[in-house]
Amino acid sequence: MDATPNRTPEREAFYREISPHNLAPLWDVLHTVVTKEPVSPAKPAIWRYDAEVREYLMRTGALITAKEAERRVLILENPGLKGKTSVTHSLFAGLQLIFPGEVAPAHRHTQSALRFVIEGHGAYTAVDGERTIMEPGDFIITPSWTWHDHGNDSDKPMVWLDGLDVPLVRLLDASFAEPGNTETQMVTRPAGDSLQRYGQNLLPVDWKPERKTSPIFSYPYPRTREALATLAKNGDPDPCHGHKMRYVNPATGDYAMPTIATFIQLLPKGFATAPYRCSDSTVFVCAEGEGESKIGDQSFAWGPRDIFVAPSWHRTTHRTRAESVLFSFSDRPVQDKLGLWREDRGNR
């Protein structure tokens, strides 16, 4: 099952003959499309926020307004997927910037979006009539096909990481989008309502979920951090993951979003993880601490706000110089639902 049959002149002639009839020989490409192991076009990469990216991001302020841009986002382009709007093969990541007084106008689309807040205080994301105030470390969701807009009523620029399932929805040819007819949606519920309503291990008695996405719009960092601290205090770290949790949809116990898994993990100071690889390419963001990750054959030192990506089936290890917290996201829920997800916890 290794060898691709030779391309003899006779065969090549035949291939040319059938091509206009929309036919092609499978045996000529079989081993490149059905590979023994994942062969991702994506490459390991890092975006150093403070050292590099932040300056470019801030310069976009002079280049274009949030309103003209609709969303003033710099795409984090995977170096193996230039021009594809992709951070991994199936997912998109970008850094979004809103200056004080700006608004990113209301729209909706079938693509699901996550936000992980990088810097700034007090801007909001409005979803379904509720404005969520954004603070660093918060994980915020815009479910598929919900109206959403962003605004910054503070006096500092606000930056967050966007993660979307754009390449996946593109492959499925399932993109729908609609602009709002007002810039800013009406506020119908106070900030924090969804967390109290759905996030306290209670649910309204007659409420039934209408979507596959969590009804909680915001998972605030302090609460997440507290859970991590408890785990770290009460038990031993997993050799591959440290203390790692996944964000959950309280209506189902499933991932918070149907297409994107989101994780948070605490790595103690001086901790070195055992080699690990999995079939879901993963985007990491450093929320706290500093360390170094080896992804395949490449090593990347990281600190707060840096973003790096481990493509599918690339053996990965982390080593910390301080207690560190990593947020991460991947397409694991898709692979789980389709019976495709694999991991390898063994060392070489």
Tell which positions 57-76 bind a copy of itself, by CB under 8 A. Answer: 59-60, 63-64, 68-76
Closer to a copy of itself by CB, 206 or 297: give it. 206
* Shortest distance (Å) from residue 331 CB to a copy of itself: 6
Binding to a copy of itself (CB under 8 A): which residues in 239-278?
Answer: 241, 244-253, 256, 258-259, 263-265
- Of 114-122, 153-161, 173-181, 291-299, the window that binds a copy of itself (rule: CB under 8 A) is 173-181
Report the alpha-carbon distance of residue 23 to residue 91 in Å, rounded.
31
Query: Which of 127, 125, 123, 130 is closest to 196 using CA atoms?
Result: 130
DSSP state of 146: -
Record the tokens describing residue 38, joined without a space. 């994942």
Provide the mask over 103-142, with x wherever binding to a copy of itself is found by CB under 8 A and - wherever it is not: --x-x-xxx-------------------------------
H or E segment to which residue 38 belongs: none
Least distance between a copy of itself and beta carbon 6 (Å) = 9
In whole angstroms, the minimum distance from the beta carbon of 176 to a copy of itself comes to: 6
- Binder of a copy of itself out of 102, 119, 138, 331 (CB under 8 A): 331
Among 170, 301, 319, 322, binds a copy of itself (CB under 8 A): 170
- Which tokens in the block code for residue 51? 């050292």
One residue of 142, 282, 312, 320 binding a copy of itself per CB under 8 A:
312
Q: How far is CA 262 from the centre of its chain?
A: 7
Please pick, from the candidates 211, 271, 275, 303, the single residue that binds a copy of itself as defined by CB under 8 A.
211
Cα 169 from Cα 14, distance rounded (Å):
36
Cα gap 83→251, rounded to integer Å: 38
Specify whether the CB–CB gap between 110 and 175 falls below 8 A: yes
Residues 6+ apart with CB under 8 A from 270: 320, 321
> Are 246 and 326 contacting, i.e. CB atoms less than 8 angstroms apart?
no
Calpha distance 260→255 (Å, rounded): 8
Q: Does residue number 2 form part of the binding site for a copy of itself (CB under 8 A)? A: yes
Selected from 125, 132, 273, 281, the binder of a copy of itself by CB under 8 A is 281
CB of 182 to a copy of itself, least distance (A): 12
Token representation of residue 303: 């600190």
**Which span (115-123, 151-159, 194-202, 296-304) binds a copy of itself, by CB under 8 A?**
194-202
* Shortest separation between residue 284's beta carbon and a copy of itself, angstroms: 14
Give the binding range for a copy of itself (CB under 8 A) out of 117-125, 152-160, 211-219, 288-296: 211-219
* Contacting range for a copy of itself; rule: CB under 8 A; set: 267-275, 284-292, 305-313, 319-327: 305-313
Residue 315 near a copy of itself by CB under 8 A: no
Identify which of residues 119 and 331 has a Cβ nearer to a copy of itself in the complex: 331
User: Within 13 Å and on the Cβ side, how many CA atoms surround 324?
Assistant: 30
| Residue that has been written with the tokens 């391309």 in this structure | 7
Instruction: Tell me how far apart the alpha carbons of residues 273 and 301 are, in angstroms, rounded to a whole number.
Output: 15
Q: Compute and round to an integer the Cα radius of gyration of the chain.
A: 22
Size of the site for a copy of itself (CB under 8 A): 139
